[in-house]
Structures are given as structure tokens and as C-alpha cells.
């Protein structure tokens, strides 16, 4: 079978590919601004049918208790994605503007492989735990802890790493025994819709277990956070939207799992290789045009070497030209949309208004009049109180901030409403480690270590989220816990 979703994708409801109640809407290639094709535009009734199907599959089939079926289904989906990986790669580059080199990692092949972790975890998990016999209140009792699926999961995802985020919800939610309604971002419908095609064609996953509703209307996704038939919402996106999801979920006391924004710091200690560290920070901030929630976008450097640090960062970032994502050498492609490009540009304008200056970049590249490109930009001359140092920009933008020693660097890193990730570079590993220990964030890279992997939980402190995705912790987010006490 060839993938059809990369022309005109459908909704996937109760095991069937179906049209959307609102017709179709165009999908745009962010690198060329060309219309690639269309996606089904689901409406409120489609969403209601999808929730109904997921509810029925959970309540009336053995999906939640048939671990063998679930493990098989997840592995079949993984294998089908691998079989179609080249088509998926083309689709991902076209729809997301994702650079080719990232599709062999977190943009595609990484998360597909991570489905193995989900299947293996379900296969080997201790679903019941014997607490032994005790006599609370004098009554001899055998106690057991049972872990079971939460129920119907509504998954709402953004556009920046669609496969990674869709699969990091779908994989563990299914492995744990839930059924799911996935509502992807309006800008990246195909990366989600294709899962419906592959599930229908290549897996034993029963109808209703997975439902996918693409829509151009954010309000259709919002229904998942208020509908009483949904037990849990698993959301990744901006902190503002996360707040709305949490508030809407309160009415039915939904379990709410949130992966939100970030403004992570890259700390360079005064014993570090300054040029190497700043160059690494600049490269990271340019990847996928800075559209990564955990990218370190504040470069915090020793005050005495501030100018040198700015120069090193600008030398790397100024040399990275935004380009065609299909080119194997491209690291910085376009941002997702015209709206997003305008938003990034407005932050660049704000940096100047706030008294900053550009050490490189600062706007649209002169040689690209089509495509939603922004030059990798280094902002200098501001401290951590500037809005460009506090708010998430989600573009290839790095703000360089001076620190006065380790204590001050830690203070600056933690002086943020967010707490998603961080990096520490220093020659003395013990000192770098002790700085890392004091960061109020969910993941830290010390001297280039990589925290991203299937078995490592990912998520944020403070306004970066609630809960963890991936790893055993990410699997257990999708479980309830029941104590069974039997008098003996």
C-alpha cells in the first residue's frame, strides 16, 4: 500500500477512514508556501463520534486487559511505519518543514523505534502487586495493588515534532490499555492521519481503539478537555493553551497531563571551553528553526567574557543559513507558518525596543522571498528581565545573558516561569554536576550529554507542565491504581 494521506487525508473514526463534517482544508509546505494537498476538516459531530467510538471500545471490548493483543498491535504499527519510512520522511519534510537530517532522529525514526519500548514495557509490566496479608483494624486482609488503564484518552498535539509527540502519547496510552482520540495541530494533519491508514491496513488494533480527528478549528480539540466521556487529556503545546485545557478539564475532574513551553538556559561556567560551548548553544538554537520546546534559548555566560561569548555564538549562528529542509546539509528549515514567522519577527523587533542588539541575523533572509524563513539570530545587550529572555519565541533566536559566577548563573537559570530543560558546560565535572543538581527543570544536559531516549522521562517543572512523557513514568501516567483488600 502507498500512503494516501500525503495528498488528501481523512479522519479515522471507529476503524474507518471518513470525510470531515467541515469538508477539507489545504496543507501548506512551509518551505515553499505551496499547497501540498488537503486534510479532512473535522467538526464537533465528528469529534463526538470519535469519543463515542473510543468509549465503546474501552467499555465493551477486552482491549484494556488483553495485553498480548496490545503488544502485537503496537509492534505492527511500528513495523508498518518502518516499512513506509521513506514516504513518511518525504511527508514530514514537506508538511512540517523538518530538516532531512532530523528525520533520522526525533522527527521520525527515533519515535517509531520508541514504540518498541512501549510494547516491551506492557509485556513485562507487573500489573498486580501483592502487598501481603496484614490485619488493619484487627481484620486479617490480603491486599493487592492492581494497575489498570485510565479509560478514554484525548490527545492534543502541536506541530513542531508531530511524530514524536503523537507517538509518545499513542504508544504508552495504548500499551497501558487505554483507547484514544488524537487531535493533531491544524498545521500538521497528515503526520497524524497516516497513523489511521497504517493502523487500519497493517494492524490488529480493533475499531474504536484509535481515532484521529484532524481539524482546522482549535475549538474541536477543546471538546476533548470538556467532554465527560473522556477520562484523561494528554496535551502538548503552549502554556497558555495548557492553562485552558486544565481549566476546562476541571469541570469533570479529568486527569490532565501537560507538556508545555520552555525558556531553557545554557550555562557556561568560567572554567568551560567558552568558544566550544557557545558554538554548541548556537547550533542547538538553530535546529529546526528553534521550534523545540526544550531548546536552550538563553545562553548564560561569564560577564568578564561576555563579548567573546557573543562573538563565538554569532560566528556559528551567522554561518547557519536557513534552507531547503530536503537538503541533507540543512539544519535550520522554515518555521511552520506565516503567522509563526510574524510572531518571531515581532519578538526580534521587541529585542531592539528593549535595548538589545543583533550580533547576527534579525529578520528574514535576503535570499529567500518565499517560505517562512527566519535568520538564526543572536540577541546581545539584555539581561534576564527582558521579555525576549522570559517569553518563549519558538524561532532560531538565542539571547546571551551575563552571569557573575555559579550562584548567579543558577539564579538566572531558575528565574523563569518555565522549568523544562537546561544545559551546563564546565571543565570540572563535579562542579558542573552540582550546578545541574540545582536547576529546577525536568532534564539537564551536562557537557553535551543526551537526555532524550525512550526510557528517559521527559517533562517540566513549574509552568512547563504536569507529569512526564516517555520512560516508565510516561507509561504509568496512563494508569490508574486500585487496591483490592480481601478478608482472609
Q: How far is the CB of 461 from ligand NAD (least distance, A)?
A: 11
- 237 lies in the binding site for ligand NAD (CB under 6 A): yes
Question: Is 113 considered catalytic here?
Answer: no
Q: Which is nearer to ligand NAD, 309 or 466 (CB)?
A: 466
In this structure, the number of other CB atoms found within 10 A of the CB of residue 125 comes to 16
DSSP lists the bridge partners of residue 180 as 153, 210
**Smallest separation, CB 307 to ligand NAD (Å):** 30
- CA separation for the pair 446, 57 (Å, rounded): 45
264 touching ligand NAD, by CB under 6 A: no
Residues 345-364 close enough to bind ligand NAD by CB under 6 A = none
Q: Grid coordinates 561576555 are at which residue?
A: 306
- At closest approach, how far in Å is the CB of 187 from ligand NAD? 7
Cell of 463: 509552568
Torsion sign over Cα 134, 139, 144, 145: negative
Binding marks (x or -) toward ligand NAD, 449..488, rule CB under 6 A? -----------x---xx-----------------------
Helices of type H across 188-305: 189-202, 218-226, 239-250, 274-286
> Counting contacts by CB under 6 A, is residue 422 touching ligand NAD?
no
Q: In 3D, which of 217, 220, 230 has the Cα closest to residue 180?
A: 230
Close Cβ partners of 94 (under 8 Å, ≥ 6 residues apart)? 6, 29, 36
**List 159, 190, 266, 475, residue binding ligand NAD (CB under 6 A):** 159
Size of the site for ligand NAD (CB under 6 A): 32
Catalytic residue among 95, 109, 197, 259: 259
Q: Contacting ligand NAD (CB under 6 A), which of 262, 362, 426, 474? A: 262
Could you list the beta-strand ranges (E) of 50-185. Answer: 128-134, 141-149, 152-156, 179-183
Interaction of residue 225 with ligand NAD, rule CB under 6 A: yes
Tell me which residue has its CB nearest to ligand NAD: 237
Q: Is 394 in the site for ligand NAD (CB under 6 A)?
A: yes
User: Rule CB under 6 A: is residue 409 a binding residue for ligand NAD?
Assistant: no
Q: Following CA atoms 274, 280, 285, 288 in sequence, which dihedral angle do they give, to the nearest 10 degrees?
A: 170
Is 85 near ligand NAD (CB under 6 A)? no
Could you tell me the smallest distance in angstroms from the CB atom of residue 251 to ligand NAD? 13
Minimum distance of ligand NAD from residue 355's CB (angstroms): 26
Binding test (CB under 6 A) with ligand NAD, winner from 166, 236, 286, 423:
236
Cell, residue 293: 520546546
- Interior angle at CA 214, CA 230 and CA 208, nearest 5: 45
Closest CA to 199 of 190, 191, 189, 209: 209
- Report CA dihedral (236, 294, 394, 403) to the nearest 10 degrees: 140
Residue numbers of the site for ligand NAD (CB under 6 A)?
156-161, 165, 183-186, 218, 221-222, 225, 236-238, 241, 244-245, 259-262, 293, 392, 394, 420, 460, 464-465
Residues taking part in catalysis = 259
Amino acid at each position: 500500500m502507498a500512503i494516501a494521506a500525503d495528498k488528501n487525508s481523512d479522519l479515522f473514526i471507529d476503524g474507518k477512514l471518513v470525510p470531515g463534517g467541515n469538508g477539507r482544508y489545504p496543507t501548506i509546505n512551509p518551505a515553499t508556501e505551496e499547497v501540498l494537498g488537503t486534510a479532512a476538516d473535522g467538526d464537533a459531530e465528528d469529534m463526538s463520534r470519535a469519543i463515542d467510538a473510543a468509549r465503546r471500545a474501552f467499555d465493551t471490548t477486552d482491549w484494556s486487559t488483553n495485553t498480548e493483543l496490545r503488544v502485537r498491535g503496537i509492534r505492527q504499527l511500528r513495523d508498518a511505519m518502518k516499512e513506509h519510512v521513506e514516504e513518511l520522511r518525504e511527508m514530514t519534510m514537506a508538511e512540517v518543514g523538518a530538516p532531512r537530517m532530523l528525520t533520522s532522529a526525533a522527527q521520525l525514526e527515533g519515535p517509531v523505534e520508541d514504540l518498541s519500548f512501549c510494547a516491551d514495557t506492557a509485556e513485562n509490566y507487573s500489573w498486580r502487586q501483592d502487598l501481603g496479608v496484614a490485619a488493619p483494624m484487627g481484620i486479617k486482609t490480603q491486599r493487592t495493588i492492581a494497575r489498570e488503564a485510565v479509560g478514554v484518552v484525548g490527545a492534543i498535539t502541536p506541530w513542531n515534532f508531530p511524530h514524536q509527540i503523537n507517538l509518545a502519547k499513542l504508544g504508552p496510552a495504548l500499551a497501558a490499555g487505554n483507547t484514544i482520540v488524537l487531535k493533531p495541530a491544524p498545521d500538521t494533519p497528515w503526520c497524524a492521519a497516516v497513523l489511521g491508514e497504517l493502523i487500519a491496513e497493517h494492524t490488529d488494533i480493533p475499531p474504536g481503539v484509535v481515532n484521529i480527528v484532524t481539524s482546522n478549528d482549535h475549538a474541536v480539540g477543546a471538546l476533548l478537555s470538556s467532554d465527560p466521556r473522556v477520562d484523561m487529556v494528554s496535551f502538548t503545546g503552549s502554556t497558555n493553551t495548557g492553562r485552558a485545557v486544565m481549566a476546562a478539564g476541571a469541570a469533570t475532574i479529568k486527569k490532565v497531563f501537560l507538556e508545555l513551553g520552555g525558556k531553557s538556559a545554557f550555562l557556561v561556567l568560567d572554567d568551560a571551553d567558552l568558544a566550544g560551548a557557545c558554538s554548541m548553544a548556537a547550533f542547538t538554537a538553530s535546529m529546526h528553526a528553534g521550534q523545540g520546546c526544550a531548546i536552550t534559548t538563553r545562553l548564560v555566560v561569564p560577564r568578564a567574557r561576555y563579548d567573546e561569548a557573543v562573538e563565538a555564538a554569532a560566528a556559528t549562528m551567522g554561518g547557519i543559513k536557513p534552507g531547503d529542509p530536503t537538503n541533507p546539509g540543512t539544519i535550520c528549515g522554515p518555521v511552520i507558518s506565516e503567522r509563526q514567522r510574524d510572531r518571531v519577527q515581532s519578538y526580534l523587533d521587541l529585542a531592539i525596543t528593549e535595548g538589545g542588539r543583533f550580533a547576527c541575523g534579525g529578520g528574514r533572509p535576503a535570499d529567500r522571498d518565499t517560505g517562512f524563513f527566519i535568520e538564526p539570530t543572536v540577541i546581545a545587550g539584555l539581561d534576564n528581565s527582558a521579555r525576549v529572555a522570559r517569553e518563549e519565541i519558538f524561532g532560531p533566536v538565542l539571547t546571551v545573558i551575563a552571569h557573575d559566577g555559579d550562584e548567579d548563573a543558577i539564579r538566572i537559570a531558575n528565574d523563569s516561569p518555565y522549568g523544562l530543560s537546561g544545559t551546563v558546560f564546565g571543565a570540572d565535572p563535579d562542579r558542573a554536576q552540582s550546578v545541574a543538581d540545582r536547576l529546577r527543570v525536568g532534564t539537564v544536559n551536562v557537557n553535551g550529554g543526551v537526555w532524550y531516549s525512550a526510557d528517559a522521562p521527559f517533562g517540566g517543572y513549574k509552568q512547563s507542565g504536569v507529569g512526564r512523557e516517555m520512560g516508565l513514568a510516561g507509561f504509568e501516567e496512563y494508569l490508574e491504581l486500585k487496591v483490592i483488600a480481601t478478608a482472609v
